[in-house]
Amino acid sequence: MREMIVRALRDGAELKSRMAETMAGDIEAAAQTIADAIRAGNKLLLFGNGGSAADAQHVAAEFVNRFLVERPPLAAIALTTDSSVLTSIANDYSFDELFSKQVRALGKAGDVALGISTSGSSRNVVAAFDAAKSLGMKTIALTREGGAMAKGADVALAVPSDFTPRIQEGHIAILHIVCELVDLILFPDARKG
């Protein structure tokens, strides 16, 4: 068992080293895109399925409440939390429209859609990106290398792995870095809380 533990931790560390070498510019672009939108009075819509839904909720909380510095709340909504909306869309239409209908209802030009998918091809996330683009929103794909989602996104954050647990670990690391960068961009003089 210890060998498995050591291997998992080393694999995660090696993946983050590769991410540092290949993804820093894209992570910076994602943070700047979000900061620019919020500075202009727009909002961030986040969504994904399963563990990615939990990540969307986690990050929305970091923006609305606070991350590391004392600052005003920032406009972010996880489209994964309203069970009545989710079940009515899935029941009356289809699971593929789960996020796209919400994007069309809540999004507007200048907002940012951040879709999270470890497979890179979740149909409901891709459909939400199509809806966001039609409204003039910016799109950020948090995914793995390959897949339909990254191809059409304004910013693609593609973790260089094909192993779901390591991809998910990479996603949360990226999301925390983005939160910290957005705070730094918007509130450079804020004090750590």
CA–CA distance, 183 with 4 (Å, rounded to integer): 37
Which residues, other chains included, contact 78 with Cβ-Cβ below 8 Å and sequence gap of 6+?
Answer: 46, 47, 53, 56, 57, 59, 60
The pLDDT profile of the chain, 193 residues, written as one tens digit per residue, is 999 999 999 999 999 999 999 999 999 999 999 999 999 999 999 999 999 999 999 999 999 999 999 999 999 999 999 999 999 999 999 999 999 999 999 999 999 999 999 999 999 999 999 999 999 999 999 999 887 889 889 999 999 999 999 999 999 999 999 999 999 999 999 877 6
Domain ranges of the chain: 2-186
Q: 48 near 116, Cβ under 8 Å?
A: yes
Q: Out of 3.90.1170.20, 3.40.50.880, 3.40.50.10440, 3.40.50.10490, which CATH number does the structure's domain 2-186 have?
A: 3.40.50.10490
Q: 40, exposed or middle or buried, with CB in 10 Å at 0-12, 13-18, 19+?
A: exposed
| Model-wide pTM > 0.85 | yes
